[in-house]
Amino acid sequence: MSINSYPIGHKFGPYQIILDDNTSKLFSKAIVNRNNENHSPFAIISISFGKLLTEVDLENGAIHLNQSVKWSKKFNNTETIYASPEIVSKTERKKNIFIKIKIEYHSISKIKLGESVSTILINMDGE
């Protein structure tokens, strides 16, 4: 189902994120000079967004416009983290749809570690 067909307030997940050795090696190939002892919170954000994209379809021509991040607690790279995405807004302007997705990150003990907000642009001109 396309991301645009979900309503505001729709929640996905939660997704379990573990930076095990295999995941760390894959992320390190994409981001130079990183290993599982030196990953930033962006590893967690990237993996979480990737899991979301396995659950939804993006329309042709969809663009990831921006990313904001608030990380309030330091996490241990071997800690299991839970990511809970939610569609928080959808705005249409001149055949462009802007969808904001907020992902909250929690520890196994449900302590909030941080959140990120991504904006996706979908151009509906090509329909």
For the chain, the domains span: 3-123
pLDDT, average across residues 36-62: 82
Q: What is the pTM of this model?
A: 0.86
What does the block give as tokens for 116? 């990120």
What superfamily would CATH give domain 3-123?
Hotdog Thioesterase (3.10.129.10)
What's residue 110's pLDDT?
93
- Mean pLDDT for the chain overall: 87
CA angle 31, 51, 124 (to 5 degrees): 100
Q: What pLDDT digit, counting tens, does each position of 101-113 carry? A: 999 999 999 999 9
Give the least confident one: 35-44, 61-70, 112-121: 35-44
pLDDT at 27 > cutoff 80: no
Of residues 31 and 104, more confidence is placed in 104
Helix (H, G, I), strand (E, B) or coil at 79: coil
